[in-house]
Amino acid sequence: MSTLAPNKPAAVKPSSTTNQYLVFSLGGELFAVGTLRVREIIEYGNITAVPMMPSFIRGVINLRGAVVPVIDLNARFGREKTDISRRTCIVILEVQSEEDTHILGIIVDAVSAVRHIDSANIEPSPSFGTRIRADFIDGMAKVNGNFVILLDLGKVLSMDEISMISGMASGQPSLVEG
CA distances from 14 to 17, 118, 175 (A): 10, 12, 48
In this predicted structure, the answer to whether residue 72 has a pLDDT above a threshold of 70 is yes
**In the chain, what are the helix, strand and coil shares in percent, each to the nearest 5?**
15, 45, 40
Confidence of residue 45 (pLDDT cuts 50, 70, 90): confident
119/128 Cα distance (integer angstroms): 22
Q: Which residues pair with 88 in a beta bridge?
A: none
Please name each of the domains of the chain with its CATH number.
18-170 (2.40.50.180)
Write down the mean pLDDT value for the chain: 80
pTM of the model: 0.78
114/130 Cα distance (integer angstroms): 23
Phi-psi region of 29 (alpha: psi -120 to 50; beta: other; left: phi over 0): beta
In this predicted structure, the answer to whether residue 64 has a pLDDT above a threshold of 60 is yes
Q: Which has the closest alpha carbon to 79: 5, 132, 142?
A: 132
The torsion angles phi and psi of 45, rounded to 5 degrees, stand at 160, 165
| Contact indicator for 140, 32 with CB cutoff of 8 Å | no
